[in-house]
Amino acid sequence: MTNPKDKLIVALDLPSYNAARALVNRLGDTVSFYKIGLELVFSDGLSLASELKQEGKRVFLDLKFLDIGNTVERAVASAAALGVDFITVHGPDTKTLQAAARGRGDSQLKILAVTVLTSLDQSDLDEQGIPLTPGALVLSRARIAHNAGVDGVIASGQEAAAIRAKTSPEFLIVTPGIRLPGGDTGDQARITIPEEAIRDGANHIVVGRPINAAKDPKAAAEAFLARIANA
């Protein structure tokens, strides 16, 4: 059985290096995998990423690249040189994803295609002129990602089972928008609880505010790990 710690990714969605470093220190050995996003990258987050790798942690850079192929390829190559484990690229088309795959080279970096942000719902897609439901668009983009040869997708747990059925056992499904029953949803529109996401095929769940805003982050992380183990 996979260690539950391998499945939990704690999002360091914090405003400064010092705040993120303090949380990592407080969590200690309870957490082995961290996500660094745009906010922290601009506050010395890449230095923290290097430190975490040196400490034996796994690191997910959530930068959601989307640009012309040449730019995406070079940006992914730079990320691969840092030695991080996961990187995100928006996944609306094959060209972008194949450029990211080229940029990875022979490194062990896993490329994850962002399907539909978990903060978006049907009204947001309607506004964008997309004539699909969120679930249908997620599945369409997951197929594009799978066929393009990247390693997996970022998708809500609500779509995990359908993605798993239409791709392969090795295809990674990383699920944000995770909350405990009765928890504050914040700006998330399509949420799931940890057990549902894992049982439906998610390889990893990403948890931010329910841990990093908790009075006792370590106890909160342990509660999520227990739910993963029960799943």
Half-sphere exposure of 33 (CA within 13 A, CB side): 18
Query: What is the distance, to the nearest Å, from the Cα of residue 86 to the centroid of all Cα atoms in its chain?
Result: 8
* The two structure tokens encoding residue 215: 């009075």
Longest dimension (CA), the chain: 46
According to the model, what pLDDT value does residue 206 have? 95
Q: Please, which residues have CB within 8 angstroms of residue 136's CB and are 6 or more apart in sequence?
A: none
Alpha-carbon Rg for the chain in angstroms: 17
Cα distance between residue 171 and residue 199, in whole Å = 15
**pLDDT tens-digit readout, 72-99:** 999 999 999 999 999 999 988 999 999 9
**pLDDT tens-digit readout, 117-149:** 888 889 989 999 999 998 899 999 999 999 999
Cα distance between residue 154 and residue 117, in whole Å = 8
Residue matched to tokens 């309607």: 126
At residue 231 the predicted structure's pLDDT band, cuts being 50, 70 and 90, is confident
**pLDDT tens-digit readout, 10-44:** 999 999 999 999 999 999 999 999 999 999 999 99
Answer left, alpha or beta for residue 201, where phi above 0 means left and psi between -120 and 50 means alpha: left
- Full-model pTM: 0.92
**pLDDT tens-digit readout, 191-206:** 788 999 999 999 999 9
CA 156, 181, 63 angle in degrees (round to 5)? 35
Strand partners, 33: 58
Catalytic residue selected from 5, 57, 64, 218: 64
Answer yes or no: 218 catalytic. Answer: no
